Structure 1
């Protein structure tokens, strides 16, 4: 049994926003076990954070959100290792595929599959391991909101089934629209989850959605062309102050947004709020479409029915706790 009092789990925590949040949380709480979970960890991120801080509370576990059996295996391993209760679950990992449609190992459109479906299953299965006052933070994006004019095609929610298995009518939709729509789904799912958390009598679980803003230098452009990747990774990070003036004031270095994500997950006052959408550290309104309760419930219902392996899971996933 470890000496750590609580666990923090961050998906996509080996690079970019998630890595910066993990480092900030580990620094503030050396008594917490901080677990970074991602498909790969080529830079030994956990060891790098531990070395920098002179601590040993950050660990890495492999997790492939695009492979549902791997998500189940991850949670099984988590339970077997008897980790401390999860105080904060940060659903941060994200995929943006700008090209033609791709599919996960389970045959789901990959952007929707990783950004929404894999994360939903992870939450459903991890419920027994959450602390009684757990905080869930879903990393979304301002790109979900057409009113923000981010330059991405407008997000468009049709149905969970259509997004998972595009028909002939939608299979050629732009990859960047799929990304914006997946972020809309993140927020819709957050609101649907909040309604269920509000009914819990024996838990004080809260949930929030988070927009980290435009963050040049993160891995989100890893599937873009060579020139765009170079500009994104090497040029734009040094121009953040100018981008705040010319593009959006909600432009940050990953370290800045990572600190905000850590704050939203752990700040005692903010942890007590639930069902809000944050732009950095400020709660704001999300898009008009995100408040469509009928679509929220359609997405929730499709997700539960698609993921549940049997009647028990169907009940447990739907009811929550």
Structure 2
């Protein structure tokens, strides 16, 4: 069944290079550095702070936090909202665009008011529809934007029921949005990367069964089975099982891409990097939106105030407040300390080992090959997407 999108939380950030034409794109955050004012993609508000900022200056940095799915927020709430504040505060000369299907809570205006700045605005994008992703990428390519320096693929989707939810293109929704949509966006935008571009990919500790997070263990069979799971499997594991498995796919794909970036660096003198990052358990975000009323109340109103107890019970320090998680996401994107790291996994700001299964190269390659075969429109595009070969 195709369903209304539930819990979605996006987070991310990025660093920029100044003095040259550079653009950093991050789903859900895009960071653009401009030496001249670009044309806005269709959908940007004509009366937005973005337009006013460009009128005031012909040299501006452009940060775009993007919420990538249907009616859920991402960059307009939760971790994504906090990361947007952190990035806008750290880069007051940057233009922050919060993107989602809508901004009903006027998050962009709230951030501007909170920071006493005018560098945040709203722009729509939908990763649940691959045609929409292609349209967005086409608008980007045709809008005279500078090259891309950072692309942060960061979206979290979790269903609480045992139904099969699908995207417009027929993929299981969690996997279709968090992996397939992001992968297509990456491949379409890759030709616009600068030689030192960086790609942070948001994962989760739930991808690792050894962490005992309480979610069903992530299990990688084949990409095709994950994209089109049986009703019996979904009924057994529920949406949370789809979530943990998708987060494993994020790490597998990160390592496959890191290997290809390494080959490109060796053969063409480029220094491209990709990393996976776990923002931690963050009570109070939209991730619990589709839970029962009691679970939702506890998640939104009780658990944020007893993080110390959750840390004790789970025996982990990886339980964060929303502001802390947002700051960490901004650090992974903007921090000089993590610059140049490739093919590694971060828990908050610290480099960690990911799950045992995530290092299985055969599974990394199976996912990579399935992905480019699936998202490419034809053989020519498939060859172009298979970078580093």
* Contact 2:276–2:343 (CA under 8 A) maintained in structure 1: yes
* Contact 2:263–2:388 (CA under 8 A) maintained in structure 1: no
Give the equivalent residue in structure 1 for 2:137.
Answer: 75
The answer on 1:138 being equivalent to 2:201 is yes
RMSD: 1.9
* Contact 1:6–1:86 (CA under 8 A) maintained in structure 2: no
Give the equivalent residue in structure 2 for 1:311.
Answer: 379
CA distance in 2 between counterparts of 1:26 and 1:272 reads 23
Q: How does 1:215-234 map to 2 (within 5 A)?
A: 215-234=282-301
* Contact 2:130–2:181 (CA under 8 A) maintained in structure 1: yes
2:280 aligned counterpart, secondary structure: coil
* Contact 2:164–2:231 (CA under 8 A) maintained in structure 1: no
Alpha-carbon spacing, 1:79–1:57, altered in 2? closer, same or farther (3 Å): farther
Alpha-carbon spacing, 1:86–1:4, altered in 2? closer, same or farther (3 Å): farther
Q: Larger Cα Rg: Structure 1 or Structure 2?
A: 2
Alpha-carbon spacing, 1:168–1:48, altered in 2? closer, same or farther (3 Å): closer
Give the equivalent residue in structure 2 for 1:97.
Answer: 159
* Contact 1:10–1:90 (CA under 8 A) maintained in structure 2: no
Alpha-carbon spacing, 1:291–1:128, altered in 2? closer, same or farther (3 Å): same
Give the equivalent residue in structure 2 for 1:4.
Answer: 60
Moved runs in structure 1, 4+ residues, more than 4 A? 6-11
Q: Which moved more, 1:262-271 or 1:24-33?
A: 24-33
CA distance in 1 between counterparts of 2:296 and 2:83 reads 23
Aligned residues: 321
* Contact 2:64–2:99 (CA under 8 A) maintained in structure 1: no
Cα deviation for residue 29 of structure 1 reads 1.3
- Structure 1 residue aligned with 2:115, among 53, 78, 81? 53
* Contact 1:86–1:130 (CA under 8 A) maintained in structure 2: yes
* Contact 1:7–1:86 (CA under 8 A) maintained in structure 2: no
CA distance in 2 between counterparts of 1:113 and 1:88 reads 22
1:38 aligned counterpart, secondary structure: coil
Cα deviation for residue 233 of structure 1 reads 1.0
CA distance in 2 between counterparts of 1:59 and 1:194 reads 32
CA distance in 2 between counterparts of 1:9 and 1:128 reads 21
TM-score w.r.t. length of structure 1: 0.94
Q: Which moved more, 1:268-277 or 1:189-198?
A: 268-277
Alpha-carbon spacing, 1:310–1:264, altered in 2? closer, same or farther (3 Å): same
- Structure 2 residue aligned with 1:129, among 186, 189, 192? 192
TM-score w.r.t. length of structure 2: 0.78
1:208 aligned counterpart, secondary structure: strand
CA distance in 2 between counterparts of 1:203 and 1:7 reads 24
**Per-residue CA shift, 1:137-196, capped at 9, x if unaligned?**
111000011100000111000111111112365343421111000000000000000011
The runs of 5 or more residues in structure 1 that have no matched partner are none
Give the equivalent residue in structure 2 for 1:253.
Answer: 321
**Per-residue CA shift, 1:84-131, capped at 9, x if unaligned?**
443322211111012111111111101111111111111111113333
Q: How does 1:275-294 map to 2 (within 5 A)?
A: 275-294=343-362
- Structure 2 residue aligned with 1:195, among 259, 283, 307? 259
2:323 aligned counterpart, secondary structure: helix
Alpha-carbon spacing, 1:67–1:77, altered in 2? closer, same or farther (3 Å): same
CA distance in 2 between counterparts of 1:30 and 1:158 reads 45
2:373 aligned counterpart, secondary structure: helix
Q: How does 1:157-168 map to 2 (within 5 A)?
A: 157-167=220-230
The runs of 5 or more residues in structure 2 that have no matched partner are 1-35, 38-58, 68-73
Q: How does 1:103-114 map to 2 (within 5 A)?
A: 103-114=166-177
Alpha-carbon spacing, 1:207–1:299, altered in 2? closer, same or farther (3 Å): same
